[in-house]
Amino acid sequence: MVVATLLVEHAAELATLAGPPGPRRGAQQAEAGIVRDGAVAVGADGSIVAVGSTREVRRAVQLAPDARVLDATGRAVIPGFVDAHTHAVFAGQRADEFALRLQGHDYLEILSSGGGILSTVRATRDASETQLRQAAFSALSVMLAHGTTTLEIKSGYGLDRETEVRMLRVARDLCARGRPHVVATLLAAHAVPPEFQNDRDGYVDLVCREIIPAVARDGLARFCDVFCERGVFSVEQSRRVLEAGLAFGLAPKLHAEQKSHLGGTRLGVALSATSVDHLEYADDDDLAALADSNTVAVLLPGAAFLLREPRSAPARRMIERQVPVALATDYNPGTAPIRSMPLTIGLACVCVGLTPAEALVAATINAACALQLGETVGSLEVGKRADIVILDLPSVTHIPYRFGENPVQTVIAAGEVVVEAVKSA
Ligand SMILES: [Zn+2]
């Protein structure tokens, strides 16, 4: 009989998200794997050793003498959220710019007066590694308290070799702390830096020849991302960046079809990208290409909502056409200062039309697949890391319904209780 050091039992709804390997698509996107009166048991190594009904799990495990038992009566229990797209390392805030945008000032007007992303680039270049680490650590604590146990962090506010490497070193330090678990992405091609405004190809050369090799040599990133957008990087420039990353073992990701339809999605599918993100302007041909691939569509409804974009990603058509959909906050200081996955689920239901169950799948197992972590996190299954969240809600359907609240009561990361508001039984 297997020994458990931690047991969560009597969950009104245990959403296991158990299912076949890989991202869930079509009808599977709505299968949360609900068990009534559910339980999940954790072993000394921080992985899940049993999951099922409380009766089944109680029969399958022997409690260690010092085991903790958490009674989740009346509550829903889910896997920790996976936030598959954030820009969580940066310096400076842009609340004033947010206020200007609310008054109708155009983003391009703000950018031309020195604001926008370039103000974050200036602040980030000026910040020390310690300052960046402290700011990001405090943001990650907020995310953890909202149930996020794994997140991706992109660079992209340095736009030079030194600062991009510094941002990724901060991400590595945060990863070493382990809670939440961090996956790093190089996004040197996030914007054109001021010194290359008239020489975009020259900056792409720098990214391909210097920044990617330097980051890969130090093992600082798993993915290479690019902002493929009109006025930023063309499809051809994006291809150069992603192919250079692939040559150094960095898997491709793209910011694609956010403000216009340019062709980034098709490029991503052609390069077997792990994910393509945003997709407000994705068309039916893009969806057909995605449906035939292993690439996950990551939607960022918080960014579209706060930018008051006229168009939202075609999430319903994606699910109908068998495209696997994931969700992320896009946490960044400009367009999405959002750190809450429960809020993001609410926005996904209200703004792009996902059902609560589809949004939960998108925020857990499919988001894990968008980070190539589908085999280790994103569901409550034996052998996976014990990232478990107890919600102060009777059902997962209440996550979007309690819009704007933080419903998280207890967070368990790799088998350890790291956020707690529940008494042990
Ligand atoms: Zn982004």
Written as one string, the DSSP assignment of 167-219 is: HHHHHHHHHHH-SSEEEEEEEEETS--GGGTT-HHHHHHHIIIIIHHHHHHTT
Position of tokens 């070493």? 176
Q: Are 388 and 347 in contact (CB under 8 A)?
A: no
Burial per residue of 139-160, b for 16 or more beta-carbon CB atoms within 10 angstroms, e otherwise: bbeebbbbbbbbbbbbbbbbbb
Q: How much distance in Å is there from the Cα of 36 to the middle of ligand 1?
A: 37
pLDDT in tens, the chain (425 residues): 899 999 999 999 999 999 999 999 999 999 999 999 999 999 999 999 999 999 999 999 999 999 999 999 999 999 999 999 999 999 999 999 999 999 988 877 887 787 899 999 999 999 999 999 999 999 999 999 999 999 999 999 999 999 999 999 999 999 988 889 999 999 999 999 999 999 999 999 999 999 999 999 999 999 999 999 999 999 999 999 999 999 999 999 999 999 999 999 999 999 999 999 999 999 999 999 999 999 999 999 999 999 888 899 999 999 999 999 999 999 999 989 999 999 999 999 999 999 999 999 999 999 999 999 999 999 999 999 999 999 999 999 999 999 999 999 999 999 999 999 754 44
Burial per residue of 304-342, b for 16 or more beta-carbon CB atoms within 10 angstroms, e otherwise: bbbbebeebbbbeebbeebbbbbbbbbbbbbbbbbbbbb
What pLDDT shows up at residue 333? Answer: 96
Q: How much distance in Å is there from the Cα of 140 to the middle of ligand 1?
A: 17
Q: How much distance in Å is there from the Cα of 109 to the middle of ligand 1?
A: 21
Q: What is the DSSP letter of 155?
A: -
CA 386 to CA 306: how far, in whole Å?
33
What pLDDT shows up at residue 411? Answer: 98
Q: How much distance in Å is there from the Cα of 188 to the middle of ligand 1?
A: 12
Q: How much distance in Å is there from the Cα of 371 to the middle of ligand 1?
A: 14
Helices and strands, counts by H and E, the chain: 17, 16
Q: How much distance in Å is there from the Cα of 255 to the middle of ligand 1?
A: 6
Q: Are 257 and 313 in contact (CB under 8 A)?
A: no
- Angle, alpha carbons 87-176-165 (nearest 5°): 50
How do strand 275-278 and strand 251-256 relate by DSSP bridges?
parallel
What pLDDT shows up at residue 306? Answer: 92
How do strand 251-256 and strand 223-227 relate by DSSP bridges?
parallel
Q: How much distance in Å is there from the Cα of 215 to the middle of ligand 1?
A: 19
Ramachandran region of residue 68, left (φ > 0), alpha (ψ -120 to 50) or beta?
Answer: beta
What pLDDT shows up at residue 299? Answer: 98
Residue 28's identity, in one-letter code, is: Q
What pLDDT shows up at residue 99? Answer: 92
CA 185 to CA 220: how far, in whole Å?
8
Q: Which two tokens stand for residue 206?
A: 């720098």
Residue 40's identity, in one-letter code, is: V
What pLDDT shows up at residue 109? Answer: 82
CA 5 to CA 1: how far, in whole Å?
13
Q: How much distance in Å is there from the Cα of 332 to the middle of ligand 1?
A: 8
Q: Which two tokens stand for residue 322?
A: 């068998």
Q: How much distance in Å is there from the Cα of 153 to the middle of ligand 1?
A: 10
Q: How much distance in Å is there from the Cα of 257 to the middle of ligand 1?
A: 12
Total Cβ atoms within 10 A of residue 208: 21
Secondary structure (3-state) at 305: helix
Q: How much distance in Å is there from the Cα of 269 to the middle of ligand 1?
A: 18
Taking every pair of Cα atoms in the chain, the longest distance, rounded to a whole number of angstroms, is: 68
Q: How much distance in Å is there from the Cα of 42 to the middle of ligand 1?
A: 34
Q: Which two tokens stand for residue 148?
A: 């996020």
Q: How much distance in Å is there from the Cα of 331 to the middle of ligand 1?
A: 8
Q: How much distance in Å is there from the Cα of 200 to the middle of ligand 1?
A: 20
CB proximity list for 99: less than 8 A, separation 6 or greater: none
CA 226 to CA 191: how far, in whole Å?
9
Closest CA to 167 of 139, 217, 129: 129
Which residues lie across from 182 on neighbouring strands?
151
What sign for the dihedral angle of Cα 371, 374, 380, 384?
Answer: negative
What pLDDT shows up at residue 425? Answer: 45
What sign for the dihedral angle of Cα 367, 368, 374, 380?
Answer: negative
User: What's this model's pTM, rounded to 2 decimal places?
Assistant: 0.97
CB proximity list for 209: less than 8 A, separation 6 or greater: 244
Q: How much distance in Å is there from the Cα of 408 to the middle of ligand 1?
A: 25
What pLDDT shows up at residue 254? Answer: 98
How do strand 325-327 and strand 61-71 relate by DSSP bridges?
unpaired
- Residue by residue, DSSP assigns 308-339 as T-S----HHHHHHTT--EEE-----SSS----
